[in-house]
Structure 1
Amino acid sequence: MDSAGKEREAVQLMAEAEKRVKGSHSFLRGLFGGNTRVEEACEMYTRAANMFKIAKNWSAAGNAFCQAAKLHMQLQSKHDSATSFVDAGNAYKKADPQGPLHHCRQAPHHHRRDLRGRAGGHREGHRALRAGCRLLQGRGVQQASGSANKCLLKVAAYAAQLEQYQKAIEIYEQVGTNTMDNPLLKYSAKEYFFKAALCHFIVDELNAKLALEKYEEMFPAFTDSRECKLLKKLLEAHEEQNAEAYTEAVKEFDSISRLDQWLTTMLLRIKKSIQGEGDGDLK
């Protein structure tokens, strides 16, 4: 089969793999059995990546390896995940210098929301992504700092979902501090401090209060943000063990700024620590 034929077959494999992933509904369900579709998709992405390599379509090969890497991570295949990230980096490197950084920016959000593993069984997951980011940063591209921040934020999101909150806090605080004095980026800093505070909150209410005070002192603009005001309402509701007040505060925030799956997950984890709350609902 010629290169064009290999590329056509690879495109078909990618489409079929995507169908397999969608058919699996959620990786959470997969953790309790029924991983077959995900495993099949992972194999298809890898086969497609190698076909793209034969066709010398390096960008497409990198993308396919990335998809395989994320599925390996969610299937707890830590070594395979790290290997696929490295393969992706090498493919992007052959495509063009911006390829690796583009990968960091574009990692699909829907994979993030499906990770619900426990830290003990998944502690290597975010390390694989970090290893991939280190490889990509090593390209020496001038725009590395901004893109590296975006890559680190994805690591933080994975870490928090894997209940490695201290690692997530370190990254969110680091990126928040890096951006709060930048006129073009400081608007985003409130989001990073908000997420860091939520991670603190899940671990300990007092930690969250102290962190909130620190962030307000470091970044005064945070005080007037909707995120900071929400945190204060949640802390008050949690202290009073008032689940209804907690839910109302979340609903009010969501009516203006739609909560994504990551925030919903973190807020639910906090709510479950309120006595008598076990319904797992924010609405």
Structure 2
Amino acid sequence: MAPSKSEARILLQKAEKKAASSAGWFSSATTKFEEAGDLFQQAANAFKLEKSFVDAGDAFSKEAECREKCKENNDAANAWWNASKAYKQGDRPDLAVEALSQTVTYLTKAGRFRQAADREKDIAQIHLQRGDLPRACESYERAGEWYQQEDANAMANGCFKDAADLHAQIDQFPQAIARYEQVADQSLQSNLTKYSVKEYWLRSGLCALANTDSVTAKRNLQKYETLDPSFMTTREAKLLAALIEAVEGSDLEAFATACRDYDQVMRLDNWKTTILLKIKKTIDEEPGLT
């Protein structure tokens, strides 16, 4: 005896049958797809109850296609968004990104850039989890620009900072420096965020050194002091100044001492440790800089 179909499968079958049916004398194609969309949505939710998340994502995707045929763009965007969440639960990040991209398209067409930025940030995080740093970087920057358009400056700065970190990790140091300085300039405009500029400027300086450009690092350090004279009293500025001197003198011992002294007080995070190792490698490879 064949096993009985689950409620979700029964609803899915009804939805597919409705979507494939011919419009009757007293109904239109729009009505047909509206009804099919409702059934696909019900099937998707039933699949979620069964924890069949990929099937749920597929059903939400079919719902979205029905909404599109009815020109119900807001409902289509919501259906794609629901599909992306189901695919994430089902461990299909590739399909989640595709569904989120569809959501973003509808949101931007409707001028809902704040919500589009939220979804683009979700895409960035999926790319990051998959180890695709260049695409994550692109999505963070796109999200940041949309947040900025909506005057959500704190959210924008968070995305631009994340993008800068990734630029540095894939050795795109000039782009990283530009983003760190952009975020620092924005942060200087508010007393609530002014305290954070020392971190951004330190990261910018480290990127210049990792790019074997101590001249730019030194010039930028002087520029940062002009923008905020108190910066030179911070541990971040002192570390950067010590590192510039160590790099220019090819002094590995001084380099190690500067890193150790800072770490004993502030603790070096994984990003700084990674970039510092890149800087150290430049000293190892070019010992004759003096």
* TM-score greater than 0.5 by the shorter chain: yes
State the identity as a percent: 30
Distance of 1:57 and 1:165 partners within structure 2: 39
State the secondary structure of the residue aligned to 1:181: coil
Q: Per-residue deviation at 1:219?
A: 1.7
Given that residues 120 and 143 in structure 2 are in contact (C-alpha distance below 8 angstroms), is that contact kept between their aligned partners in structure 1? no
- More relative contact order in 1 or in 2 (CA 8 Å, sep 6+)? 1
Matched residue, 1:28: none
Matched residue, 1:269: 278
Distance of 1:113 and 1:207 partners within structure 2: 33
Shift in alpha-carbon separation, 1:114–1:250, aligned structure 2, 3 A: farther
Structure 1's unaligned 5+ residue stretches are 14-43, 73-79, 278-283
Which among 160, 163, 176 is matched to residue 171 of structure 2?
163
Which among 204, 208, 223 is matched to residue 200 of structure 1?
208
Q: Per-residue deviation at 1:172?
A: 0.8
Q: How do residues 71-220 of structure 1 correspond to structure 2 at under 5 angstroms?
A: 86-87=101-102, 89=104, 122=134, 126-134=137-145, 136-137=146-147, 141=150, 143-203=151-211, 204-220=213-229
Structure 2's unaligned 5+ residue stretches are 1-7, 9-42, 65-77
Q: Per-residue deviation at 1:52?
A: 6.4
Given that residues 83 and 96 in structure 2 are in contact (C-alpha distance below 8 angstroms), is that contact kept between their aligned partners in structure 1? no
Q: Per-residue deviation at 1:227?
A: 0.9
- TM-score normalised to the size of structure 2? 0.61
Q: Which amino acid aligns with 2:202?
A: F
Q: Which amino acid aligns with 1:260?
A: D
Matched residue, 2:47: 6
RMSD across aligned positions (CA): 4.2
Higher Cα Rg: structure 1 or 2? Answer: 2
Q: Which amino acid aligns with 1:154?
A: D
State the secondary structure of the residue aligned to 1:152: helix
* Cα offsets for 1:12-58 (capped at 9, x unmatched): 75xxxxxxxxxxxxxxxxxxxxxxxxxxxxxx7xx775566669687
Given that residues 194 and 227 in structure 1 are in contact (C-alpha distance below 8 angstroms), is that contact kept between their aligned partners in structure 2? yes
Q: Which amino acid aligns with 1:86?
A: S
Matched residue, 1:254: 263
Q: How do residues 225-244 of structure 1 correspond to structure 2 at under 5 angstroms?
A: 225-244=234-253
Whether 1:221 and 2:194 are equivalent positions in the alignment is: no
Given that residues 105 and 147 in structure 1 are in contact (C-alpha distance below 8 angstroms), is that contact kept between their aligned partners in structure 2? no
Shift in alpha-carbon separation, 1:167–1:108, aligned structure 2, 3 A: closer
Shift in alpha-carbon separation, 1:260–1:66, aligned structure 2, 3 A: farther
State the secondary structure of the residue aligned to 1:182: coil
* Cα offsets for 1:136-183 (capped at 9, x unmatched): 438x64x52221121111221221112111111111111101111310
* Cα offsets for 1:65-89 (capped at 9, x unmatched): 7899xx76xxxxxxx9985653464
Given that residues 159 and 168 in structure 1 are in contact (C-alpha distance below 8 angstroms), is that contact kept between their aligned partners in structure 2? yes
Distance of 2:192 and 2:86 partners within structure 1: 33
Given that residues 200 and 208 in structure 1 are in contact (C-alpha distance below 8 angstroms), is that contact kept between their aligned partners in structure 2? yes
Shift in alpha-carbon separation, 1:193–1:213, aligned structure 2, 3 A: same
Q: Which amino acid aligns with 2:177?
A: I
Q: Per-residue deviation at 1:7?
A: 2.5
Shift in alpha-carbon separation, 1:105–1:86, aligned structure 2, 3 A: closer
Distance of 2:101 and 2:228 partners within structure 1: 37
Given that residues 104 and 133 in structure 1 are in contact (C-alpha distance below 8 angstroms), is that contact kept between their aligned partners in structure 2? no
Distance of 2:231 and 2:171 partners within structure 1: 25
Aligned length: 226
Q: Which amino acid aligns with 2:47?
A: K
Distance of 1:84 and 1:248 partners within structure 2: 50
Q: Per-residue deviation at 1:211?
A: 1.0
